[in-house]
Chains A and B, each alone.
Chain A
Amino acid sequence: MPMRNPSRVAFVNARLIDPATNLDARGWLLTENETIADFAPGDFPHGAPEGVEMVDCDGRALAPGLVDMRVQLREPGEEHKETLKTAGEAAVAGGVTTMVCLPNTDPIIDDVAAVEFVARRARKIGLAKVYPYAAATKRLEGKELSEMGMLAEAGALAFTDGTRAIGNALVMRRALSYAATFGALIVQHPEEPSLAEGDMNEGEMATRLGLSGIPAAVEVMMLERDLRLVELTGGRYHAAHVATAEGVEAIRRAKQKGLSVTCDTAPPYFALNELAVGEYRTFAKLSPPLRTEHDRRAVVEGLADGTIDAIASDHAPQDADSKRLPFAQAAAGGIGLETLLPVALELVHSRGLPLLDVMRKLTSGPADLLGLADAGRLKKGGPADLVLFDPDRPWKVVADSFRSKSKNSPFDGRPVQGWILRTLIDGRTVFSRP
């Protein structure tokens, strides 16, 4: 991987994409050291000055690096599945320059030292920028509030119990209320936990396979409850990986009501349905589970009409030993950093969504709701976190070739479009390929 780092690089003849300003035009962009010095539509005005590396983009897309708001890093604690280094390599290979990690590591990110550990380690590695979520409740137990004020001061972006729902309504009320004291966001895994015990979507397929089912209602039940609590507390709420038709509808209504609510979804929930489980494919065992085709279409609709604000990879590395098990015993989750962009681009190629809209959900959408003022946008003087990609070039997912330490992709073997050519972080090229 070439790591040449001249202080100035001019990207010319690029399709500039900046969702934050609705820019989608042929143009040029100049980086200087760590920052974006300038960019504009049209031809590069200066010709080729001395000491500037000229990159002819040949009409390929140059966009802000992706902001992936839901990643499990596994370090510290489960480095056999993923490390900050391997995740960072996978991220930049996927065009992700900023990722936000869940607190479900070992130790759990529920104190200031853990927040600082992650930030320090990620800085040292120098790949994708990492911001941690901190636990909303101590030890992720869903009982006692974490020190949200001090954690936010230390750099925690928002608060969540990660892959666990905050089940107790009183605790959720207080979490929303306490977080709102500091203007902080609560991110929920929206599944009613007492009902969400099971292996896959509840329905005919689970019945035929003899697997225990998780009814689709678990999502809307938790969302409806939480939305009432948002009304009660005036707190800020974000629902992660919305995956059901009724869940999307609940968020849509809440937004119409003017509540301070946002949500994201992940590629499996708009690109796959429960049929992917096939004959007990454990790589398709996810949390929340893949739902029906009806649900998948509703998620696509939610993305199209703006109900869903962001697309996150929901990257959940599991080693082979955790997946090569009977379905019921296998761990849930799939990797997603290296398939985030191409699978999201299916919305452009198959569903006809504007590229700018899809890119918004991968860049400024999540950055805005997390308060990351510099990420996910092209900004003069802002960090040169960029991705250069060919949105049309086809390729086939081969999970074994991925940089992620675990290879559990639910998209293995899938033909996709969207090829990342180069990724820059703070002006440094950290990934490039022809």
Chain B
Amino acid sequence: MSDMSFQHRHLLGIQGLGPTEISFLLDLSDGYVEQNRSADKKKSSLRGRTVINLFFESSTRTRTSFELAGKRLGADVINMQVSASSVSKGETLIDTAMTLNAMHADVLVVRHPDSGAVELLSKKVNCAVINGGDGSHEHPTQALLDALTIRRRKGRLAGLTVAICGDVLHSRVARSNIHLLNIMGAQVRVVAPRTLLPSQAARLGVEVFHDMRAGLKDCDIVMMLRIQNERMRGNFIPSIREYFHFFGLDYEKLAMAKPDALIMHPGPMNRGVEIDSDLADDYERSVIREQVEMGVAVRMACLEVMVDNLARDRDAHA
């Protein structure tokens, strides 16, 4: 069954996965897209299983998407929003893990503001862990849903040219996408002012551009990243208007890309900052809503695989 193609106990990142593993997850997700579009959306493959959404950082989309995914597979889904207050009470990440172990969860979906925190937690719990985004490190399900969106629209990933634009420095979405697209044989570009690029960005296997028009030239996919407002007060970027002028996506800059280029954004969008509002709403070009739909299907696939692998491991130990 599915565990033949994706053997890992956790899904902590894209880095380290191979093309067959990624294709396997995408194929599985494809099936759920159809199911989610049908009238009866519910399956019972995860009945009796417990999924805990453990979020140390606020999120609406990702959390809701995982919650819906778990529920459609029949799992019991619990959301734990860990506020700053319990951290200030002194509970460490490891203490939290111990607490969760005692609850016998099957899958933990974890988001944490610190890079590496999800991996640390995964070493201390008995269940499967899916990284729902850790710091500026990885956000694997976002990369998978982006890949699924692209693959369904373009029929392939290999050979496409993808420009990832914006705050690459702070973005886990960018890193996971760069890894995935490289593994699948796409050409990846990053487009950003130098202050929003990590040093040695090119070492990730991307072509670096500081001029958006040059970076978008003949691209198949334009992937915009969200930029946080607090980065726009002169520390990384002088102002919103300057950022939009040079790095905001509008029709004029988009004209450099291929005529059928798709626009993607992980949301939530800052209209008029990184993307022109009209463009975000242009159904011809923008697949931003489709990305949300694919997100649920991808997360269903990931949850199912995790639960299957866990059952296999537990059988092996029994």
Contacts and interface: CB of A to CB of B under 8 A. Distances in A.
Given A138-B234, A181-B210, A232 B199 contact: yes
A138 B235 CA distance: 11
Contact of A148 (B233, B238, B241): B238
A273 interface: no
A181 B199 contact: no
Interface string B265-278: 00000000000000
A185 B199 CA distance: 20
17 contacts: A138-B234, A145-B235, A146-B238, A147-B238, A147-B239, A147-B241, A147-B242, A148-B238, A149-B242, A150-B242, A150-B245, A178-B193, A178-B194, A178-B195, A180-B210, A233-B194, A234-B194
Interface residues of A, number: 19
Interface of B: 193-195, 199, 210, 233-239, 241-242, 245-246
Interface of A: 137-138, 143-150, 174, 177-178, 180-182, 232-234
Contacts of A178: 193-195, 236-238
Contacts of B236: 145, 174, 178
Contacts of B235: 144-145, 174
Nearest to A175: B195
A145 B210 contact: no
A357 B228 CA distance: 51
A233 B198 CA distance: 11
10 tightest Cβ-Cβ pairs between the two chains A and B: A144-B234, A181-B193, A177-B194, A147-B242, A147-B238, A145-B238, A181-B210, A178-B195, A181-B194, A149-B246
Contacts, number: 49
A181 B210 CA distance: 6
Contacts of A143: 234
Contacts of B193: 178, 181
Given A178-B237, A181-B195, A233-B194, 8 more contacts: A138-B238, A145-B234, A145-B236, A148-B238, A177-B194, A177-B195, A178-B194, A182-B210
B195 A144 contact: no
A145 B233 CA distance: 8
Nearest to A176: B194
A144 B194 contact: no
Contacts of A149: 238, 242, 245-246
Nearest to A146: B238
B135 to A, nearest CB: 20
A234 B199 CA distance: 11
B243 to A, nearest CB: 9
A144 B238 contact: yes
A173 to B, nearest CB: 9
Contacts of A174: 195, 235-236
